[in-house]
Amino acid sequence: MNINDQLLAALGLYGLPVLSSLIFFTSLGIPLPATFALVVAGSFVELGDMNLWWVVALGAVAAIIGDQAAYAIGRWGGHRLSQRFTRWFGGAKQLDRAENTVNRWGWAGIFFSRWLVTPLSPWVNYTSGITGYPYHRFLLWDVSGEVLWVILYVLAGMQFSDRVQALMETLGSLAWVEIGLIAAAIFGWLLFKNLRNSRK
Amino acid sequence: MEKLFHPHYTASIFHCQLINTFPLLCDLSLSALCGFVVNLFLVIIISMAEPRKINWQQWLFILGFVVSLVIVVIFALRAFSHAPRQRVNEPIRMWMTIPYISHSYHIPEYVLYQALGLPFVPRDRRPLTVIARQQNRTIASVIAALQEAIKLSRPPYPTPLPFPPGTPLPPGETPPSATVPRGPS
């Protein structure tokens, strides 16, 4: 039996506690169908089985708490581990450079990984903690992104309440389109910079 | 003949053709856009570097860029082909509830309950896996029974009433005409 189907069956039967738990553990990086659960919850809202405001409120709170937990793990566990690692094997300069980049561009990574490129979200939580991204800024972009994510997917589930599986297939493909576009932009920028430097 | 060329008819024919060709148009325009971007990028690269002086690192970046765009095109085409534009018959899964299947297939709930030999339960949140366990049946047999009931509720078979037969009609309401059996025309 498919574990995802079992979890969605539990969502239908027990409702909000299952939805919140799925979202919380997904924020920690455990591969669970949180986005699909949100869309199905939207469909159940449309059928009158769930309350829209409770779904949005509990979904967003669960996601935010999960993200804070992952950030804390990265900050207290991962940061120490990376410091020890650089002391033993070197690479302190590279770590500093990574920290600077995250501090400069971290807001975009945090905000867009919440609702646009959701598979990257847990890894952004951990790296934000490891690189010591300022907590108040992390919280600000995290809350904005997660509230947007929950509202968007629940509304999509309500709009396409009679065809959630087809919707999820489309959204799954679109996530890959976004990842491909980001990768293309990064490779394009690296190549452009490399060529410009080699001409000098 | 005159009727055939009435503006309303031609407009509706055009509308239907537009809807049918819309996904294809989207796919083609997306492919054209991606092709344009790749060509533009290659022109920039060629203008920036002498081709023979491109080092292995730069080749790696070009490869990464092209592979990323191929991924974009493949998944964009897939997304468009799966886009839920119209009503689709979703495969019935074990997590679905009877109200969800009824909503998805646009079939009254009581028809599905009857197919499983169950009484109608308002706001029933039991997924099929729970119903199968309660009835000591396999999930496959439950899904097969529902699929059969759905098949028998669609043309050429008579459309079922929106409420169970024998239910008293609310005052002032007439029985729906859709109950007349429809044969294949």
Q: Token pair 């400069």 is at which residue?
A: A104
Give the closest-approach CA distance of A198 to chain B in angstroms: 9
Q: How many domains does chain B have?
A: 2
The two structure tokens encoding residue A117: 């490129």
Tell me, yes or no, whether B102 and B77 share the same domain: no
pLDDT, one tens digit per residue, over A158-183 is 999 988 888 888 888 888 898 899 89
Please report, as a single letter, which amino acid is at residue A127. Answer: T
Provide the angle, in degrees to the nearest 10, between the axes of the packed helices A3-14 and A34-47: 40
Q: Is the pLDDT of residue A152 over 90?
A: yes
- Greatest Cα-to-Cα distance within chain B, rounded to the nearest angstrom: 86
Tell me, yes or no, whether B76 and B107 share the same domain: no
Which range of residues forms the domain containing residue B146? 98-166
Domain for residue B108, yes or no?
A: yes
B18: confidence class by pLDDT, cuts 50, 70, 90: very low
- CB contact under 8 Å between B75 and A177, yes or no, is yes
Q: Is the pLDDT of residue B89 over 90?
A: no
- CB contact under 8 Å between B49 and A195, yes or no, is yes
pLDDT, one tens digit per residue, over A27-49 is 999 989 999 999 999 999 999 99
Cα angle A145, A159, B111 (rounded to 5 degrees) comes to 135
In this prediction, residue B13 carries a pLDDT of 44
Q: Where are the alpha helices (DSSP H) in chain A?
A: 3-14, 16-27, 34-47, 52-72, 79-89, 92-115, 121-130, 135-159, 164-199
A116: confidence class by pLDDT, cuts 50, 70, 90: confident
A144: confidence class by pLDDT, cuts 50, 70, 90: very high
- Segment A117-146 mean pLDDT: 90
In this prediction, residue B181 carries a pLDDT of 43
Q: Is the pLDDT of residue B9 over 50?
A: no
End-to-end CA distance of chain A: 60
* Minimal Cβ distance to A12: which of B57, B95, B106: B95
Which chain B residues touch A44 with a CB distance below 8 Å? 100
Choice among A15-24, A78-87, A113-122, B120-129 with the minimum mean pLDDT: A78-87
Q: Is the pLDDT of residue B127 over 90?
A: yes
pLDDT, one tens digit per residue, over A52-86 is 999 999 999 999 999 999 999 988 887 777 777 76
Domain for residue A175, yes or no?
A: no
Q: Using a pLDDT cut of 70, give the percent of chain A over it.
A: 90
* Minimal Cβ distance to A169: which of B82, B94, B99: B82
- CB contact under 8 Å between A173 and B93, yes or no, is no
d(C-alpha A84, C-alpha A136), whole Å? 26
In this prediction, residue A76 carries a pLDDT of 87
Domain for residue A176, yes or no?
A: no
Tell me, yes or no, whether B35 and B102 share the same domain: no
pLDDT, one tens digit per residue, over B44-71 is 666 665 555 778 888 899 999 999 999 9
* Minimal Cβ distance to B123: which of A6, A11, A49: A49
C-beta separation of A187 from B41 below 8 A: no
Torsion of CA B121, B124, B130, B136, to 10 degrees: 10
Domain for residue B173, yes or no?
A: no
Q: How many domains does chain A have?
A: 1
Which range of residues forms the domain containing residue A136? 3-162
Tell me, yes or no, whether B63 and B20 share the same domain: yes
